[in-house]
């Protein structure tokens, strides 16, 4: 076990837990790339860490979402919004168990994607937030900031529903509305390695705070 890890453990108390870290941002901003690098980094330091992503396409709800996203099925906008939310609710209790057992979760998209995408379609933002209330609140949200134009120049853009410039610009506006004190905004146009270094620092600080007993909280309770 390295020196860093030893110094982290000195602050251990009975409320010690893993951190809930979420990566958000427009399509192709680099969330999946950076999420997996973060998990490797934390594991390399001897931390227990897992990579999660939403939608979780492995569940039966997730399969309905996947079919919708790939244009194989059509659903009413409210219905798909609630399915995305249900997909998070079905993982909530496992999420809490993992965090309390000391595992840090690096989560690729969460409720912010849910609200930003559905609001961009024209659903009311408060209506969109309502089913997310009571899910676990992230300790840290890493927002990878990129313009829709720059993102569209990256590989794979344009294969799924929602991957259109005008729509992505609206999504970006709604993300701004959701920004709160748990967010850190990172310029996603930097080289991957530079972004990686910045994220590592932010995540390590958050992991230490949670290890020292920062309480878990719930999302959007007024």
For ligand Z5A (CB under 6 A), the number of binding residues is: 23
Of residues 188 and 210, the one with the C-beta less far from Mg ion? 188
**Of the candidate residues 32, 36, 67, 169, the single one contacting Mg ion (CB under 5 A):** 32
Q: Which stretch binds Mg ion (CB under 5 A): 11-19, 29-37, 77-85, 203-211?
A: 29-37
Angle at 177 between CA 173 and CA 178, to 5 degrees: 115
151 phi/psi in degrees, rounded to 5: -60, -35
Instruction: Provide the greatest CA pair distance for the chain.
Output: 53
33 is in the binding site of which of ligand Z5A, Mg ion, none (Cβ under 5 to 8 A by kind)? Answer: ligand Z5A
User: Measuring CA to CA, which residue among 9, 6, 19, 7 is closest to residue 215?
Assistant: 19
Q: Which stretch binds Mg ion (CB under 5 A): 31-39, 58-66, 152-160, 187-195?
A: 31-39
Q: Is-contact 23 106, C-beta < 8 A?
A: yes
Q: Which stretch binds ligand Z5A (CB under 6 A): 22-30, 41-49, 97-105, 178-186?
A: 22-30
Of residues 8 and 95, the one with the C-beta less far from ligand Z5A? 95
Tell me: does residue 36 bind Mg ion (CB under 5 A).
no
Q: Is-contact 92 133, C-beta < 8 A?
A: no
26 phi/psi in degrees, rounded to 5: -65, 165
Report the DSSP pairing between strands 140-145 and 183-187: parallel
Instruction: Give the three-class secondary structure for 11.
Output: coil
Of residues 159 and 221, the one with the C-beta less far from ligand Z5A? 159
Helix ranges restricted to H, the chain: 3-9, 31-44, 60-69, 77-100, 111-120, 125-129, 148-152, 165-178, 192-211
**Of the candidate residues 78, 92, 100, 154, the single one contacting ligand Z5A (CB under 6 A):** 154
Which residues, 57 to 96, sit near ligand Z5A by CB under 6 A? 69, 84
- Write the interaction track for ligand Z5A spanning residues 161-200; mark x where CB under 6 A is met and - where it is not: -xx----------------------------x--x-----
By residue count, the chain amounts to: 222
**Of the candidate residues 43, 149, 160, 205, the single one contacting ligand Z5A (CB under 6 A):** 160
Tell me: does residue 207 bind ligand Z5A (CB under 6 A).
no
141 phi/psi in degrees, rounded to 5: -115, 120
DSSP string, 145-162: E--HHHHHTSTTTTSSTT
Give the interface with ligand Z5A as residue ranges (CB under 6 A): 27-33, 54-55, 69, 84, 109, 113-114, 117, 154-156, 160, 162-163, 192, 195
Give the interface with Mg ion as residue ranges (CB under 5 A): 31-32
């Amino acid at each position: 076990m390295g020196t860093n890890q030893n110094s982290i453990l000195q602050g251990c108390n009975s409320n010690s837990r893993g951190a809930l870290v979420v990566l958000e941002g427009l399509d192709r901003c680099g969330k999946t790339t950076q999420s997996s690098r973060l998990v490797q980094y934390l594991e390399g330091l001897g931390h227990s860490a897992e990579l999660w992503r939403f939608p979780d396409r492995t569940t039966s709800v997730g399969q309905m979402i996947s079919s919708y996203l790939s244009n194989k099925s059509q659903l009413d906008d409210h219905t798909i919004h609630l399915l995305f939310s249900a997909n998070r609710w079905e993982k909530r209790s496992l999420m809490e168990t993992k965090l309390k057992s000391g595992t840090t979760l690096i989560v690729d998209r969460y409720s912010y994607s849910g609200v930003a995408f559905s609001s961009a379609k024209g659903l009311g933002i408060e209506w969109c937030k309502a089913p997310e209330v009571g899910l676990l609140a992230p300790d840290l949200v890493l927002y990878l900031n990129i313009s829709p134009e720059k993102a569209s120049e990256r590989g794979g853009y344009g294969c799924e529903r929602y991957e259109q410039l005008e729509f992505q610009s609206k999504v970006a506006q709604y993300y701004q509305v959701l920004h709160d004190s748990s967010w850190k905004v990172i310029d996603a146009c930097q080289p991957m390695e530079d972004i990686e270094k910045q994220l590592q620092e932010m995540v390590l600080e958050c992991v230490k705070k949670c290890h020292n007993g920062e309480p878990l909280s719930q999302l959007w309770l007024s």
